[in-house]
Amino acid sequence: MDIPVNTIQSISKLDSSCVLLMCKDLRPILCSFEPNDLWVTTLVTAIQSIAFPNGGGVKDVFAFHYKLGKELGGKLENGWDIYDPLKEFERIGVVNSPHARFYRIWSDNYTMSETYPKYFCVPSAMSESDIMNAAKFRSKCRMPAVSWRNKKNGAILCRSAQPMVGLKSSRNAADEKLLNLYRVRGDPHNPLELEEPSTLYILDARKVLAATGNQVQGKGTEIISNYAHAELVYCNIENIHVMRDSVGALGGAGVTKDHGEIKDGYIHHVKDSHWLRHVQLVLKASILAAERMELNDSSVLVHCSDGWDRTSQMSSIAMLLLDPYYRTIKGFAVLVEKEWCDFGHKFKDRHGQASDRKKDERSPVFIQFLDAVHQIMLQFPTVFEFNERMLIFLADMVHSSLFGTFLGNNSKEREVVLDVKNKTVSVWTYILAKKAEYTNASFDKKCEDVLWPSTSIKMIKTWDRYFCRFDIDCHPKSGGGLDAWRDDWGEKLK
């Protein structure tokens, strides 16, 4: 049995002969020994000191000792080079293109916002003082920045944190200017906008009560009358705490246990966890963003509270639906690096890296994103270059701390504090080295369609390959046999 030490969520001594390990991937592991109270106590203490090192934290994880590639004899493609923000900006048409004059790349070495990318894109009509003022009006200075541009119509998908509206209903001229520039695709003198103004859609991931309730803390949501030709939509996605309880119910209520022991039945407990409903709402919000950009020719702003959880889900799934590049292995790597790693999803806090503290900050947001991708793959099985096994591998590696890709909470921490590019291996290095195993044999590379998946609850399925894999009765036994569900924990490459 493979149990990476950083996958351990908690360890407890039940008695003088039993130890219970709870894993972040929902595995409960009961270890039984010959009764020996001192030995069991010593074992628990030893495992705790390795899994949750005092003082060392993330710097003590195995990623800083993991080596890869010597056994291959050839040169590996370096996964750290797979995402170059300037090349990605060029690919989407905001650098070195006829439309580049409308946009500029901003970089101040993380000074304005410690949790934002080192390089991000904003309209060129924004002066330096405009940019600084607009940033101050958003939580954690996470101002609206470009995620993607639709080459067909120039519409922009941008993302941010919530505005600092507060109880006084504050407004900010620079923020209003910025969103209007996104609405007009960066060109404030576009004659078409004078004749028939387009609409900017602001998709707030939260429920209306949650969004407006944040005004007590000096935050909130946009006062839509302050923004020209804009519409505000609430997407009703629950917060990280609800998602944590939901996935816990999904696992704890029976998904990883023998069905015969589950009171009231497996289906009942899956339903009561509300996990499928949460995945459905994430998909609905993402599809709405894609619809507004593709069918309404409109720019879209997505945000939640701080803009690093639900925002990342919505932006990345919308981009996956709209742009076939992100459905390739390298494209998906760029998507994850850009929308999750670079824009500051808090991997360290959400997955409790080398710590048993901040438990209220843990949440399966990234796992839920992978689940949503899996749902799309079920409906469109030939449009993805990668297969389900790659999604499972990423889900496991975000917990294992074997690679440097998901360490820390933001790009600044990974670059300045942890120096992951020089001291650790990228998860993409491993995936590219084993590309044949992670490639979808049915992939149709000629398909460049925009994807419009159904969000009917009848079409949202439990991700059996992830949630049911530790129940041996769920494994397929014909054809591929048990090996069909064999997990990869970063084994040596051959």
Q: Name all contacts of 290-297 with Cβ < 8 Å and 24+ positions apart.
A: 290/318, 290/321, 290/322, 290/450, 290/452, 292/155, 292/201, 293/150, 293/153, 293/155, 293/157, 293/318, 293/322, 294/150, 294/152, 294/322, 294/450, 296/199, 296/201, 297/153, 297/155, 297/198
- Amino acid in position 101: R
Q: Which residues, including other chains, have CB under 8 Å from residue 446's CB and lie 6 or more apart?
A: none
Which H helix or E strand runs over 319?
Answer: helix 310-322
Contact present, 226 and 172 (Cβ < 8 Å): no
Tokens of residue 218, six digits: 């000096």
Contact present, 450 and 294 (Cβ < 8 Å): yes
Q: Which residues of 396-423 are buried (b: 16+ CB within 10 A; e: fewer)?
A: bbbbbbbbbbbbbbbbbbbbeebebeee
Contact present, 416 and 405 (Cβ < 8 Å): no
Give me the torsion for CA of 65, 71, 73, 76, rounded to 10°. Answer: -50
Burial (CB count within 10 angstroms: exposed 0-12, middle 13-18, buried 19+), residue 105:
middle
- Amino acid in position 153: N
Q: Which residues, including other chains, have CB under 8 Å from residue 381's CB and lie 6 or more apart?
A: 440, 442
Give dist(CA 30, CA 37) in Å, integer: 16
Helices (H), 52-205: 85-91, 128-136, 173-183, 191-195
Angle CA 3–1–378, to nearest 5: 80
* CB count in 10 Å sphere of residue 182: 23
* Residues taking part in catalysis: 304
β-strands 145-149, 156-160: how paired?
Answer: antiparallel
Q: Which residues, including other chains, have CB under 8 Å from residue 281's CB and lie 6 or more apart?
A: 235, 236, 237, 238
